Structure 1
Amino acid sequence: MIEILSGVFLLLGTLFILVSAIGILKMPDLYTRMSATTKASTLGIGLVLIGTTVYWQDIGIAFRAVAIIIFLFLTAPVAAHIIGRAAYFGKVPLWEKTKIDQFKERMEKADK
């Protein structure tokens, strides 16, 4: 039973990581690629670590897995935000079908 539960977590994790990789290939610009990658891969890695913890049932492995998951959930969004902000200020173009640029609107209000 433990092997099945662990396998389900591992399979779901790898599927989310696959979705993340497909997102890198299919999304039209840097900003949407970053969003897909950050969200899907963070969840996928978390599920893989949970599956590993369930399989091995060791407190040391569980502690390390929880520490890694917490670290990922705290750092991945911050890193994506910083990279996206640097790309925006570096004039990396938005997708041509982007209709709303909220950051530009916010910056215009701040300049006034």
Structure 2
Amino acid sequence: MDLLIKRVYDEPSGADGFRVLVDRLWPRGLSKERAAVDLWAKEAAPTTELRRAFHQDGMDWETFAAAYRAELATNPAVPRLRELLAGKPVVTLLYGVHDERHNHADLLREALLE
């Protein structure tokens, strides 16, 4: 399986394959039609507390990444998602944040590929 990452605000493409939104909150100003999401896997996103600590309270990236990896290791949504995506040739994980380098979708991708 090819597991890609893309901002949900970017134009959907046929090359995206199965599109999975991996944010806990629905992206602002984006209709469900325009998002073209096949699955909303909000249970695999960072917890509300961790998300707020990173986006609102100034938690640094390394601390966030370590905390989210710890959440992923014990989150039952991760193996369920891995199982659900098995057999799909192309899957694109969609996220809403502006920062393409520091976002949880990349960490979730790592966990799903393990």
Give TM class, smaller chain.
under 0.3
Bigger radius of gyration:
1
Q: Which structure is higher in RCO with an 8 Å CA cutoff and minimum separation 6?
A: 2
Query: TM-score by structure 1 length?
Result: 0.25
Query: TM-score by structure 2 length?
Result: 0.25
Q: Identify, as 1 or 2, the structure richer in strand.
A: 2
Q: Identify, as 1 or 2, the structure richer in helix.
A: 1
